[in-house]
Structure 1
Amino acid sequence: MAPISLALKGEQYANELWRYKNAQGPERQHFRMGLAAVLWRFLTAHETCISSSCAVPRFGTVTTVPSTSGRTDHPLRAMAASMVGPTRDRYQDLLTPAPDAAALGRTVSPARYTSVGLWGDNILLIDDTWTTGNHAQSASAALKAAGAGSVAILVLGRHLNTSYGDTAAHVEQARLRHFSWDTCALRSWTHG
């Protein structure tokens, strides 16, 4: 799993990840365009880092984690399928939520989703927010059960609540590093 950024509860990026799905009208489009630009920029700089980390030459197929809440027009799917250049031509709808997917709660289960048959394809699986990881991990397990080769999970935001456990200390350490698009979560050096 590779996060593009931390999404701290109550702060700007977490707010944008909520609003791109839940705002209305031009405001919703504003947030979708912004997040699409973040995804595009990150993939341009770091998709090869992810594939290298997975020991594969590239990801031939890109898909997204579908909603289990009944949302049929998930904006992340629209972003990856049509708005983001590096994913547009490789995007495929591979996963379908099981009828009882929502009832699984916070359990990781390959039964949460079904996947079309895959024959060793390397998949880049994109999700918007990683909180517990149960949806993305369940989707990854379903893809592997359907015959995928490597599956890498890329999330737009790793959701953190600083009032939980020792999260605040980890966040303070993260704040000491200066942001740069050339800094990768998978490589310990700057590149670009």
Structure 2
Amino acid sequence: MTADRQADYRRALESTYGSVLTRALPGPVHACATCRGAAGNDYKFCPACNGRYGQGKTPRLGFCLYAVKGAQLYRSLFAYKESGEARYVQDARQLIRGVLYFAFADHYRCLEAQEGSVDAWCIVPSLRSTVNTKSVDHALSRIASSVIGDRLPELNLWTTPGEGKRVYQPERLHLVHTPDADRARHVLLIEDTWVTGSNARSAAEALFREGIEKVSILTIARLVDSGYAPAQPLVDRIRDLANTPDSMWACPWTRSGNCPTIR
């Protein structure tokens, strides 16, 4: 896409979705040091991130947006996975594609500046299903493929049947071995939503166990529950950021939103 078309695309997204796309920038609000969610003023981490994922390797985390439970963006993050071509489903897919497009167009090099070159990408499959699933069959895979193209190969994680609970269970995830998978050293995982992070963390740990050296996780939206009392300062911050176009394009890989120095 040319620079002029990128600019037009950016303006169109701002015009259509500017009031709902709020970058995950906690700013002065006290937020979890790991996932940018509500932690409470006396805690460094939220309950889900407080030492629940073992002491092994840890992935680099990037968050594009905040989504408040019940708000338009929150609904879109579920609507895009529906079958059919209803207008609201198409709109949700267009929104997700736009967020991913500029996360790559503007900030792919930001990730590489911090973690080195990326060798492959993969969608985080859902562990809430009680049957086998494949990451390449996920609705987000089709959208991400249209953004990434042939820049990077896509890997496939499949899940074994389970109870469908939102818990840390990396043993249910398995990498499909291909030449691209066997060559990969740094994998970018793409997740649509982060609540507790159990799915994404499970996928990262599964890749580490397969011999992948580095894993980075790009999450489209960190969900925030406005009914959770410790989250209220964060909800207020999100409302303050609404309708501020500059915040829409902030770097997902830093808490400040400023891009790291590109070497």
> TM-score, length-normalised on structure 1?
0.84
Q: How many residues of Structure 1 are paired with residues of Structure 2 in the alignment?
A: 186
Can you give the 5+ residue segments of structure 2 that lack an aligned partner in the other structure?
1-60
Task: Measure how far apart 1:34 and its partner are.
Answer: 2.4
**CA 1:52–1:187: 2 relative to 1, 3 Å:** farther
Q: Which residue of 2 aligns with 1:115?
A: 175
Q: Which residue of 1 aligns with 2:99?
A: 38
* Aligned partner (choices 191, 199, 202) of residue 135 of structure 1: 199
Q: Secondary structure at the match of 1:21?
A: coil
Question: Residues 74-126 of structure 1: CA distance to partner in whole angstroms, max 9, x if unpaired?
Answer: 21011122x11x354314233101222xx262321221211135455101100
**CA 1:168–1:187: 2 relative to 1, 3 Å:** closer
Residue pairs, 1:38-187, within 5 angstroms: 38-53=99-114, 55-56=115-116, 58-68=117-127, 69=129, 70=131, 73-81=137-145, 83-84=146-147, 86=148, 88-100=150-162, 103=163, 105-117=165-177, 118-119=182-183, 121-177=185-241, 178-180=244-246, 181-185=248-252, 186=254
**CA 1:75–1:137: 2 relative to 1, 3 Å:** same
**Contact 2:119–2:152 (Cα < 8 Å) also in 1:** yes
Tell me the C-alpha RMSD between the 2 structures.
2.4
Once the two structures are overlaid, the 10-residue window that deviates more, 135-144 or 14-23, is: 14-23
Q: Percent identity?
A: 28
**CA 1:21–1:189: 2 relative to 1, 3 Å:** closer
Q: Which residue of 1 aligns with 2:67?
A: 7
Larger Rg: 2
**Contact 2:102–2:249 (Cα < 8 Å) also in 1:** no
**CA 1:88–1:40: 2 relative to 1, 3 Å:** farther
**Contact 1:62–1:123 (Cα < 8 Å) also in 2:** yes
1:29 aligns with 2:97: no
Task: Measure how far apart 1:189 and its partner are.
Answer: 5.7
